[in-house]
């Protein structure tokens, strides 16, 4: 990292569950302070505990999602609308159907339209931009579905999934089902336009990509490394994911 690079705020928790609860608390605080917030939402196993805690905050502590506008990062191409392996189904299962969200304000990119990228960008802009973007990280450094090689100026578009990503994500599909080869994803530039970013990384499988993203060269080969150029990134992780972070980053 050069001396001009903004330092991310880093919070390391002993367990994944504590990291997930901390991220949910941050999102909850955002919604309480500004109920009409525009949030960028993510999927993946890492986020399940975040949404579980947000649902608990709604049920037990009156957190409302009624004013929230949301934009999800990505979606597979080629799945029918109610496919249980879609990210849309994931969001309904883990969050949208369990809280008081206004369905007219919830957005996922359309994986079945080649022209959907520009429309998605336009709707984010029309909503005033994303205040707080939640992000996970792939084992190869992908953010959203921006696989290695994604340029910094990329916008919402259809991408080809890396073989490694398809293998990892096969667990989210029925045995024997073909994992889609393509997906639609917000681009790196779309993500970097968010005013604040929280990156949640848990588990030892993320340690290498995470350390490289935070302290290696900023380059398309590790898409998460572009987060080094953003002024307001908070990294929330467990000890296992943080294991390879340079000591000076952990403070």
Active site residues: 74, 140, 142, 147
In the complex, what is the shortest distance from the CB of residue 128 to ligand GLP, in angstroms, rounded to a whole number? Answer: 23
Q: Which of 86, 169, 190, 222 binds ligand GLP (CB under 6 A)?
A: 169
Query: Does 69 interact with ligand GLP (rule: CB under 6 A)?
Result: no
Q: Cα dihedral angle (206, 220, 197, 193), rounded to 10 degrees?
A: -160
Tokens of 124: 């984010």
Of the candidate residues 138, 180, 187, 223, the single one contacting ligand GLP (CB under 6 A): 138
Task: Determine, following the binding rule CB under 6 A, whether residue 42 of this chain makes contact with ligand GLP.
Answer: yes
- Cα 17 to Cα 13, 58, 64, 202: the distances in Å are 9, 18, 22, 9
- Number of residue whose CB is nearest ligand GLP: 136
Q: Per-residue contact track with ligand GLP, 117 to 136, x per CB under 6 A?
A: -------------------x
Q: Does 111 bind ligand GLP (CB under 6 A)?
A: no
Determine, following the binding rule CB under 6 A, whether residue 43 of this chain makes contact with ligand GLP: yes
Using the rule CB under 6 A, is 145 a contact of ligand GLP?
Answer: yes
Q: Edge to edge, what strands does the sheet with 233-238 contain?
A: 9-13, 233-238, 196-201, 132-135, 38-41, 69-72, 106-107
Return all residues near 114 (Cβ < 8 A) that are at least 6 apart: 158
- Count other C-beta atoms under 10 Å from residue 240's C-beta: 18
Binding site for ligand GLP (CB under 6 A): 42-46, 73-74, 136-138, 144-145, 165, 169
């Amino acid at each position: 990292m050069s001396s001009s690079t903004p330092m991310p705020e880093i919070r390391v928790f002993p367990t994944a569950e504590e990291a997930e609860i901390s991220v949910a608390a941050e999102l909850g605080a955002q919604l309480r302070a500004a109920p009409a917030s525009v949030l960028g939402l993510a999927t993946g196993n890492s986020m399940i505990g975040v949404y579980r805690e947000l649902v608990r905050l709604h049920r037990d502590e009156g957190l409302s999602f009624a004013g929230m506008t949301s934009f999800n990062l990505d979606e597979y191409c080629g799945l029918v609308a109610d496919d249980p392996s879609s990210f849309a189904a994931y969001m309904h299962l883990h969050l949208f159907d369990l809280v008081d969200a206004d369905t007219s304000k919830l957005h996922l990119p359309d994986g079945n339209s080649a022209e959907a990228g520009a429309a998605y960008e336009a709707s984010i802009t029309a909503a005033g931009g994303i205040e707080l973007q939640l992000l996970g990280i792939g084992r190869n450094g992908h953010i959203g579905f921006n696989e290695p090689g994604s340029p910094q100026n990329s916008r919402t578009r259809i991408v080809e999934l890396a073989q490694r990503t398809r293998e990892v994500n096969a667990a989210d599909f029925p045995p024997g089902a073909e994992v889609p080869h393509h997906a639609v994803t917000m681009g790196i530039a779309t993500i970097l336009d968010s005013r604040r970013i929280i990156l949640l990384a848990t588990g030892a499988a993320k340690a290498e990509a995470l350390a490289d993203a935070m302290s290696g060269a900023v380059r398309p080969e590790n898409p998460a490394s572009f987060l080094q150029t953003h002024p307001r990134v908070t990294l929330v992780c467990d000890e296992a994911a943080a294991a390879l972070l340079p000591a000076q980053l952990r403070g």
